[in-house]
Amino acid sequence: MKLSTEQIVLDYVKTIDIKNIMKGRISRAEMKPGNHYMVIQGKNINYAGKFIDYGMWGSGDGMTVHFTFELNGKQHTLDDQMWGSISGEELMYFTENTNYKE
């Protein structure tokens, strides 16, 4: 039996855990200034630096989030989508680097 496009979409939507997706995306903007973080994107893991601040620009699916870090005495910004991604797999995530000592 061939499923309709509508049924395929409805079946897929049932598998999406919106609560966890939203929690993960919002938590990216809950980092503590002064703490050190690793950035994870896909299979890549790198040291992002000491977290300074973040900002969000745009609205709706076009909203972007911008994370400012200090690394080697200079500030740099990492930019990412906030909402436009469906799965979130290509988005940046951060974990605190508690082993870092200044």
What is the tens place of the pLDDT at every residue in 7-31? 777 776 676 666 666 666 666 667 8
Instruction: Output 98 or 34, whichever has higher pLDDT.
Output: 34
Do 73 and 49 touch, CB atoms closer than 8 A? no
Domain, as residue range, for 65:
5-96
Percent of the chain with pLDDT over 90: 21
Identify the pLDDT of residue 17. Answer: 65
pLDDT in tens, 47-100: 999 999 988 787 766 778 889 999 989 999 998 876 666 666 777 888 888 777
If pLDDT is split at 50, 70 and 90, which confidence band does 6 have? confident
Residue 102 is assigned to a structural domain of this protein: no
Quickly list H helices, the chain: 5-15, 18-27
Residue 56 tokens, joined: 């969000």
Let me know if residue 42 belongs to a domain: yes
pTM, two decimal places: 0.67
| SS3 assignment, position 5 | helix
pLDDT at residue number 47? 92
Q: Considering its fold, how many domains does the chain have in total? A: 1
